[in-house]
Structure 1
Amino acid sequence: MRGALSPALAAAAAAVLVAGCGAAPSDDGGGEPAGGPDSSSPGAETGQGGGGQGAPAAFDFTAPAVGGGEIDGADLVGEPVVLWFWAPWCTVCRGEAPGVAETAERYAGEVEFIGVAGQGEPAAMKEFVDATGTGGMRHIIDGDGSIWSGFEVTTQPSFSFLRSSGSFLTYTGTMSEQEIDERVASEVLG
């Protein structure tokens, strides 16, 4: 039976897909930096740039936006931005979406929240945005995963907090509105 999965292999593949819908949060319920649980570890902070060298490599993209238009990563350098990485089939992302949208509304005019959708088709991404009430935010379509990779995102949901210096800090896992507020205060506006 060439090309068919055994029932055991199919079950294992399904388990991996479901597990990939979000990293287990740390004991305090917050996400962990991409480099590990210690946010001060050198691996946690990535994307150093500036100093006349141009934009860091992670910002070297122009990508379509959900609903039309394009978003240029170079325009985000030095701006107060939070990137929220999600997938349209991810139930964890769908569950946290209203809180992300409410947080984005609270920071309107001060910090821009941008969704970065991956691992799905544009039509499914648009349905996600429409169904979750996150249409007040811009959303990037990361069709090939290169933007996720640039920000060291390996699973969703994840958040990258962009600093005015052009550096960023990426956290993997769900975050409550309070945890996002704390990171915005310390990482983006601090």
Structure 2
Amino acid sequence: MRARSFLPAVLAAAVLTVTGCGSGSGSGSGSDKGAGSSSPAPASGPASSGAGATGSADVPEVLRFTGTTVDGKPFDAATLAGKPTVLWFWAPWCPKCRAQAGETTKVAADFAGKANVVGVAGLDKNPAMRDFVSSTDSDSFPHVADEAGDVWKRFEITEQSVYVVLDKDGKTAFTGVLPGGKGLADKVAKLTG
């Protein structure tokens, strides 16, 4: 019954962050994790999928989920396997998220073909998510519309404006807040050689 006890904690954390838009400290509350760190628990329910496009043997468990992008296209995280991946968890009304959009878009362009960048929008409805992507000119990489919070729960994200950086094998290399996205490029560069 872990899900029943976990869900109220996630919802309570989400309510708390709505008023504060993240941790508020701006001090980069993230943590670098070594290669031996554990992957997030698999999601349950419809956001989980089996193998995906590249076959189950090649896809780490952490990338076995599907969704729909803010522009209505199907999304299969299995397609991210084999390259470092940045998952950017944001909310459309969050000023810290808006401040991160420019740097995140730049990292997506600078590392195109070498690393994946995916936005994971939550804590609002899809029309607001689409407006955020349009107004921040961050439409050069996919954004999953996670209205139900399935991907957020999968990665145990309890506040917006958080980055999860995975290495090419799907192991977590970094999870945390990067004010204005500063330092994201360095974290990705270390993983792409």
Smaller-chain TM-score range?
A: 0.7 to 0.9
Q: CA deviation at 1:184?
A: 0.9
What does residue range 1-190 of structure 1 map to in structure 2 within 5 Å? 17-19=18-20, 21-25=21-25, 29-33=27-31, 39-40=32-33, 45-47=37-39, 52=57, 55-56=60-61, 58-186=62-190, 188-190=191-193
Q: If you compute each CA radius of gyration, which structure gives the higher value, 1 or 2?
A: 1
The alpha-carbon deviation at position 163 of structure 1 amounts to 1.2
> Equivalents in 1 of 2:150, 2:76: separation in Å?
14
SS in 1 for 2:106: helix
Partner secondary structure for residue 158 of structure 2: coil
Q: CA deviation at 1:189?
A: 2.0
AA aligned opposite 1:76: L
Measured after TM superposition, the shift of residue 107 of structure 1 is 1.4
For the 8 Å contact 1:151–1:170, the answer to whether it is kept is no
Note the C-alpha offset of 1:172: 2.2
- The ranges of structure 1 where at least 4 consecutive aligned residues each deviate by more than 6 angstroms after the TM superposition are none
Q: Which amino acid aligns with 1:32?
A: G
Deviation at 1:145, TM superposition (A): 1.1
Q: Give 5+ residue unaligned stretches, structure 2.
A: 1-13, 42-55
Tell whether the 8 Å contact from 2:33 to 2:173 is kept in structure 1 after alignment: no
* Alpha-carbon displacement from aligned partner over 1:102-127 (angstroms, at most 9, x marks no partner): 22221122222110001110100000
Amino acid at match of 1:45: S
Task: Decide whether aligned partners of structure 1 residues 25 and 185 sit closer, same or farther in structure 2, where only a CA change above 3 A counts.
Answer: farther
Paired positions, count: 166
TM-score, scaled relative to structure 2:
0.73
How far apart are the structure 2 equivalents of 1:119 and 1:161?
Answer: 21
Percent identity between the two aligned chains: 30
Contact 1:156 1:172 in 2 (8 A): no
Change (3 A) 1:41 1:79: closer
CA distance in 1, matches of 2:148, 2:99: 25
String of CA shifts for 1:123-172, please: whole Å, max 9, x gaps.
Answer: 00000000011011110111211211212211111111121122123422
Q: Within 1, Cα distance between the matches of 2:17 and 2:115?
A: 35
Query: Normalising to structure 1: TM-score of the pair?
Result: 0.74
CA contact (8 A) 1:103 1:177 kept: no
1:14 is displaced (CA, Å) by 8.4
**CA-CA distance at 1:71 after TM superposition:** 1.0
Judged with a 3 Å threshold, the aligned counterparts in structure 2 of structure 1 residues 94 and 32 are, in CA distance, closer, same or farther, namely same
- SS of the aligned residue for 1:161 comes to strand
Aligned-residue Cα RMSD (Å) equals 2.9
Change (3 A) 1:87 1:16: closer
Amino acid at match of 1:172: G
